[in-house]
Amino acid sequence: MQEIKSPTESLQLEIRDEILLVAINRPEKRNAFNDDLVLGIEKVFENIPPQIRCVVIYGLGKHFSAGLDLSELRERDAVQGLYHSRMWHRALDKVQFGPVPVVAVLHGAVVGGGLELASACHIRVAETSTFYALPEGQRGIFVGGGASVRVPKLIGMARMMDMMFTGRVYKADEGERIGLAQYLVEEGQGLDKGIELAKKIASNAGMTNYALMHVLPKIVDSGQNEGLMMESLIAAISADAPEAKKRLTDFLEGRAKKVGE
């Protein structure tokens, strides 16, 4: 275990081999995101140490995050509001399109901006206490941290509309069923599961992870012709990397694991 310096007291960082653990540390405010915390996330993801191959992010205390710190919201005018939302977009783009994949480990509240952060990550593991909501509808505001783009990609537009129109709360098992999380684990097991997944991700060829993070989302957002061409280009580039050639040779000569091993 190796400590690294955090840009804010509201985040705790720890390096374990090739994995960076990022803990949101504002439990007394249910890990609500004030500007300091959003900017802290941005700095952490701008400065991922070179040996790191995967990040696991989780919340300290009883919740992942209660979303936007509402005490900072009241005094903003429209122009400040626009810049504030764009600050969230910048920070969460660094999470989604940073140098390495990110696993979110969820428990308790994953609401508002907390769900926006979780949906910017690449894999979500939920403990049984997890619940998801977009209370912006009830607070009289709208999502501003990227949920309108990222959440429908996980669960579809109709479910997001329902969450905001009616204040619907999804429990952990429902969340896994509809695609808010890919893994559902017992309470207290999330971090272990997240680290186990991070180790697998870290063992992939770098170009595969790069293609999944940076090319797949562009393919999904594009038309079929452009998507298929991007797929061919990235497939050719990935297979040309020395690491890919070695892995293929290892398989053909019986040294690699079979599927599922």
143 or 234: CB nearest ligand 1HE? 143
For the bound state, the minimum distance from the C-beta of residue 169 to ligand 1HE, rounded and expressed in Å, comes to: 9
Active site residues: 116, 136
- How far apart are the two ends of the chain, measured CA to CA in Å? 28
* Helix/strand/coil for 61: coil
CA distance 35 to 37: 5
The answer to the question of residue 59 lying near ligand 1HE (CB under 6 A) is no
Nearest to 168 by CA among 140, 137, 141: 137
54 or 109: CB nearest ligand 1HE? 109
User: Which positions from 112 through 151 interact with ligand 1HE, judged by CB under 6 A?
Assistant: 112-113, 135-136, 139, 143-145
CA distance 103 to 58: 9
Give the residues across from 23 on adjacent strands. Answer: 12, 58
Phi, psi angles (nearest 5°) of residue 145? -110, 25
The answer to the question of residue 110 lying near ligand 1HE (CB under 6 A) is no
| Percentages (nearest 5) of helix, strand, coil residues in the chain | 50, 15, 35
Q: Kindly indicate which of the ranges 106-114, 199-207, 227-235, 238-246 contains the residues binding ligand 1HE, using the contact rule CB under 6 A.
A: 106-114
Nearest residue to ligand 1HE, scored by beta-carbon proximity:
112
57 or 111: CB nearest ligand 1HE? 111
The answer to the question of residue 29 lying near ligand 1HE (CB under 6 A) is yes
Phi, psi angles (nearest 5°) of residue 97? -115, 30
| Binder of ligand 1HE out of 13, 104, 109, 180 (CB under 6 A) | 109
CA distance 161 to 182: 21
Binding mask 62-101 for ligand 1HE (x = CB under 6 A): xx--xxxxxx----------------x-------------
For residue 178, give Cα distances in angstroms to 36, 60, 145, 172. Answer: 32, 26, 21, 10
H/E stretch holding 12 reads strand 11-16
User: Which positions from 172 through 201 interact with ligand 1HE, judged by CB under 6 A?
Assistant: none
30 or 53: CB nearest ligand 1HE? 30
For the bound state, the minimum distance from the C-beta of residue 83 to ligand 1HE, rounded and expressed in Å, comes to: 12
Q: Which residues bind ligand 1HE (CB under 6 A)?
A: 29-30, 32, 62-63, 66-71, 88, 109, 111-113, 135-136, 139, 143-145
